[in-house]
Structure 1
């Protein structure tokens, strides 16, 4: 996952709204979002290479999502798959600060967002800090929570403007925001340890590149009655739409 935008307790009808893009190599095998047969309460896409996921929700109304922290100098080849962390956060036992403190060293650097509209937290594995998100708009990309990278500011502003002027969020409008491929000027690019050419590619909300880019967009809407609406749209290396999935989880099956 490359970028997550969160609107927490900002909309009168939808206390939790998440817009997320997963960026990954296009050759990495992936399964579209679905309810997992082996974990019936889990709705998520699946990384078929390592078996984990980048973003998911549970029938108990919880969500979890992960972004890699872009720190090439800290990456090691023998680490565990970070997709396991999302699965653990969505299991019955869940995940907590002590576990993350003890075991995050076995994974390459990451941000893990997990919880629900009542308690949404983000763990930064580099600083080993767990932050409870305050009501408002937040963004998480490949640095720290709420870093002011151009694409983070651009997406947050666009989502805030849409939600503040619409009684009901428009999924298609949010998808449009998440497919904005505007690149930042060189003078505004962050320095994250990759080449200037890749800093340019990675500076847009939607990354279009034949080798590595945005593979999918997910929109999660949770309303005041507890109903979850989960949308996923998938893309190929040329930016073509590969399919769209829509799921609704009714509040009568939420714990």
Structure 2
């Protein structure tokens, strides 16, 4: 997962709105979002390492992960971070953040958003900090929670505008937000250890290139009655949508 925008108590009918893009190399084998029969979670599956980037459990838990890029980049082989999402979804402990802190050195840097849909937290392994997500609009990308990267600021504003200008929430408008491919000006690019060419490519909310790009968009809404709907779209390397799914929990 590369970027999430989360709106908490910003819409009169939908107290929770989550918009998430997963960016990955196109050659990495993936199974689209589905119900995992053994663990009873709704998630896509990384067929290379067996984990996932975002999921919901039958008990109302949510978890999603973003990689944390920090200079200098560490190329040492470590565990796949996708297993952390499964751990969070299966956890019944209140001290998950303590467990994550103890395990963090086994993984490259990550942000893990986890909790119930009514109370979400973000654990940052690089700074070893856990924050409860407060009322408002949040962005989580490849740095710390609510960093002011251009794509994060752009997405927060677009989400706020979409919510406040529409009495009835438009799912298509949320997908339009998440497929915004505008790149940042060169002087505004973050410095995360990548080449300027890669920083430029990754500066868009929606990334399109032959080798690496946005593979899926997931939109999750919870209404005031507690009903949850999940919309998921998959993309080809060209950026064209090749599959659409909808789930109701």
Task: Find the counterpart in structure 1 of residue 53 from structure 2.
Answer: 54
Structure 2 length as normaliser, TM-score?
Answer: 0.96
- The change in CA–CA distance for 1:218 and 1:116 in structure 2 (over 3 A counts) is same
Task: Find the counterpart in structure 2 of residue 252 from structure 1.
Answer: none
Structure 1 segments (4+ residues) deviating >2 Å:
71-78, 92-95
Task: Find the counterpart in structure 1 of residue 98 from structure 2.
Answer: 98
Task: Find the counterpart in structure 2 of residue 5 from structure 1.
Answer: 5
Partners in 2 of 1:75 and 1:38 — Cα distance?
34
Task: Find the counterpart in structure 2 of residue 178 from structure 1.
Answer: 178
Deviations 1:122-177 (A, max 9, x none): 00000110011110000000011000000001111011011112223211110011
Partners in 1 of 2:147 and 2:134 — Cα distance?
15
Whether the aligned pair in 2 keeps the contact of 1:15 and 1:117 (CA below 8 Å) is no
Task: Find the counterpart in structure 2 of residue 253 from structure 1.
Answer: none
Partners in 1 of 2:76 and 2:44 — Cα distance?
24
Matched, 1:114 2:114: yes
Partners in 2 of 1:101 and 1:92 — Cα distance?
15
Partners in 2 of 1:155 and 1:186 — Cα distance?
18
Q: Report SS of the residue matched to 1:73.
A: coil
Task: Find the counterpart in structure 2 of residue 204 from structure 1.
Answer: 204
Whether the aligned pair in 1 keeps the contact of 2:73 and 2:193 (CA below 8 Å) is no
Partners in 2 of 1:168 and 1:105 — Cα distance?
44
Task: Find the counterpart in structure 2 of residue 218 from structure 1.
Answer: 218
Q: Superposition pairs for residues 1-255 of structure 1, below 5 Å?
A: 1-40=1-40, 42-71=41-70, 73-93=72-92, 96-249=96-249
Count of matched residue positions in the alignment of Structure 1 and Structure 2: 248
Deviations 1:30-76 (A, max 9, x none): 00100001212x00000000000001112222211100011263434
Whether the aligned pair in 1 keeps the contact of 2:150 and 2:188 (CA below 8 Å) is yes
Partners in 2 of 1:15 and 1:61 — Cα distance?
15
Ranges in structure 2 where 5+ consecutive residues have no aligned partner: none
Q: Report SS of the residue matched to 1:4.
A: strand
Whether the aligned pair in 2 keeps the contact of 1:9 and 1:117 (CA below 8 Å) is no
Measured on the aligned residues, the alpha-carbon RMSD in Å equals 1.2
The farther-off stretch of 73-82 and 49-58 is: 73-82
Whether the aligned pair in 1 keeps the contact of 2:79 and 2:106 (CA below 8 Å) is yes
Partners in 2 of 1:55 and 1:168 — Cα distance?
26
Partners in 2 of 1:33 and 1:118 — Cα distance?
22
Partners in 2 of 1:139 and 1:149 — Cα distance?
10
Ranges in structure 1 where 5+ consecutive residues have no aligned partner: 250-255
